[in-house]
Amino acid sequence: LGHEHGVFRGRPGDLRRLEDPALDALPRACLAHWAAPGGDLWFATDGGIARIRPDGVDVFTAREGLAAESIHRLAGDARGQLWLAGRHGVFHVPLRELDDVAAGRAERVTSRRVQRDQGLATLSMNHGFPNTWLARDGSLWLTARDGAIRVPDAPARDDAVGPGACIERLTFDGEPVDA
């Protein structure tokens, strides 16, 4: 069960917050969740996503290649893509690549953004009830401030994007500059 105070599991009347060191990298509040057909549970937060497997927890952030960390919606599709949406737009990541990063076979995933000219009226998905539906025709439906938005079952353009840059130190002529 995803909740504003974390992820809980157990039986009715005996729910306990899941404590795992991997989850410490993410904010506690769970904004959305998706139960994958194989039994894994995916959770979205304002700091990335987490996958809870029977044998452990995997956490993915911009460091692992997510195009954004503020994720308010997520769902998987029949083509093996995990769709993610939040205040910085909609993008998808191959589930296979997430598996590879979790297993140590790769360092980063490839995020592909959906662009406004691909049918999205808005790129911000952080308003309203956080829900995502995958329709039988393969289209993805997202809630937004102005209503429901349909993302057609067409792969996003091959505009692979990495996370935004983070400037940790700035120098000029070899001297530190205060930001």
Q: Which tokens in the block code for residue 141?
A: 């439906």
Position with higher pLDDT, 162 vs 115 = 115
Position with higher pLDDT, 161 vs 115 = 115
- DSSP secondary structure string for all residues of 63-92: GGT-S-S---EEEE-TTSEEEEEETTEEEE
Confidence of residue 99 (pLDDT cuts 50, 70, 90): very high
Helices (H), ranges, the chain:
95-102
Segment 123-135 shows an average pLDDT of 60
> Residue 160 pLDDT > 70, yes or no?
no
**Cα 67 from chain centroid (whole Å):** 9
**Please, what is the end-to-end C-alpha distance for the chain in angstroms?**
41
Q: Most confidently modeled of 25-39, 57-71, 119-133?
A: 57-71
Confidence of residue 157 (pLDDT cuts 50, 70, 90): very low
CA angle, 30 as apex, 115 and 9 as ends, to 5°?
Answer: 135
Mean pLDDT, rounded, of the chain: 75
Instruction: In whole angstroms, give the CA distance from residue 75 to residue 85.
Output: 9
Query: pLDDT tens digit string along 66-85?
Result: 998 888 888 888 889 998 88
For position 86, what pLDDT does the model report? 82
Q: Which tokens in the block code for residue 36?
A: 């994958």
Q: What is the pTM of this model?
A: 0.70
- Cα Rg of the chain, angstroms: 17
Q: Any idea what DSSP says for residue 37?
A: T
Confidence of residue 8 (pLDDT cuts 50, 70, 90): low
Segment 7-33 shows an average pLDDT of 69
